[in-house]
Amino acid sequence: MTENVFDIRIHVVTDYVDEQSEPDADRYVFAYTITITNNGNIAATLLSRHWVITDANGKVQEVSGDGVVGEQPHLAPGEQFRYSSGAVLETPVGAMQGLYRMEAEDGDSFDAPIAPFTLAVPGLLH
């Protein structure tokens, strides 16, 4: 019997949404697109998400919920799921990190960590 190998890769691309942001009102809107790839050898379903969002003032927002964008994608080995969402910060720079709670088709649950990534108004960071 082969051992189950859980290998969920998460790739993030961020974008500043200038037309929805109001810097004078401390409102900075960011979009992010996430690609989740199952590089393991067993299918898995994304059950829930947990995000930790921190702005430059150290203010932390935690967001948890079922699935992503109203879905609980099922990923067979080699499959990808891509979605876009957003975050609103009170500062022009911040960071996000978190995890997806996954359930393999054999019933094992595991966490797929989402490495920290930066949200920043273009030209602010070098």
CA distance 28 to 49: 23
Mean pLDDT of 103-107: 94
Residue 77 banded pLDDT, cuts 50, 70, 90: very high
What b/e readout covers 26-61, taking b as 16+ CB neighbours within 10 angstroms? eebbbebebebbbebebbbebebbebbbbbbeeeee
| Domain topology for 8-105 | Immunoglobulin-like (2.60.40)
CA distance 100 to 50: 6
Please tell me the pTM assigned to this model.
0.91
Is 26's pLDDT higher than 90?
A: yes
Is 46's pLDDT higher than 90?
A: yes
Residues 52-70 pLDDT 10s = 999 999 999 999 999 999 9
Question: What is the domain partition of the chain in residue ranges?
Answer: 8-105
CA 124 to chain centre: 22
Query: Residue 3: what pLDDT?
Result: 62
CA distance 16 to 71: 24
